[in-house]
Structure 1
Amino acid sequence: MTDLLAASERAKYERMWARPEYRVWSPGKDSAEEAIATFGASSVIDFGCGEGKALDQFLASGMEVIGIDLVSLREGVIEACLWDLPADLKPASWGFCADVMEHIPTDKVEAVLSNIAGKVRLGCYFRISTEPDGMGALIGERLHLTVRDAVWWGHRVREHFAQVVVIPCGGYCIVVARK
Structure 2
Amino acid sequence: MPISESYRQQNAELHNRYASYGTSSKRWYDKVNELSEKLNPKSILDYGCGKGLLAAALPALSIREYDPAIPGKDKIPEAADLVICTDVLEHVEPDMLEAVLSDLARVTQLCAFFNIAIRPAKKVLSDGRNAHLIIEPPEWWQAHIERFFTILSWDVVPQMEVNALVAPTAQAEAILSQLALPGHVDVGP
> TM-score, normalised on structure 1?
0.81
Q: In structure 1, what is the Cα distance between the partners aligned to 2:45 and 2:9?
A: 23
Aligned to 2:12: 14
Matched to 1:48, the amino acid is G
Q: Say whether residues 1:98 and 2:98 are aligned partners.
A: no
Aligned to 1:48: 48
Q: In structure 1, what is the Cα distance between the partners aligned to 2:26 and 2:126?
A: 23
Corresponding residue SS for 1:16: helix
Within a 5 Å distance, the mapping from 1:55-70 to structure 2 comes to: 55-59=55-59, 62-70=60-68
Within a 5 Å distance, the mapping from 1:1-179 to structure 2 comes to: 6-20=4-18, 22-23=20-21, 26-40=23-37, 41-42=40-41, 43-59=43-59, 62-72=60-70, 77-80=72-75, 86=76, 89-136=77-124, 140-170=128-158, 171-179=160-168
Asked if the contact 1:16/1:139 (under 8 Å) is kept, the reply is no
Please say which structure displays the higher CA radius of gyration. 2
Corresponding residue SS for 2:27: helix
Aligned to 2:174: none
Deviation at 1:26? Answer: 2.6
Q: In structure 1, what is the Cα distance between the partners aligned to 2:45 and 2:85?
A: 8
Structure 1 residue runs of 5 or longer lacking an equivalent are: 81-85
Q: 1:107-143 CA deviation, whole Å, 9 max, x = no partner?
A: 2111111111111210100011000111116773321
Q: In structure 1, what is the Cα distance between the partners aligned to 2:15 and 2:46?
A: 18
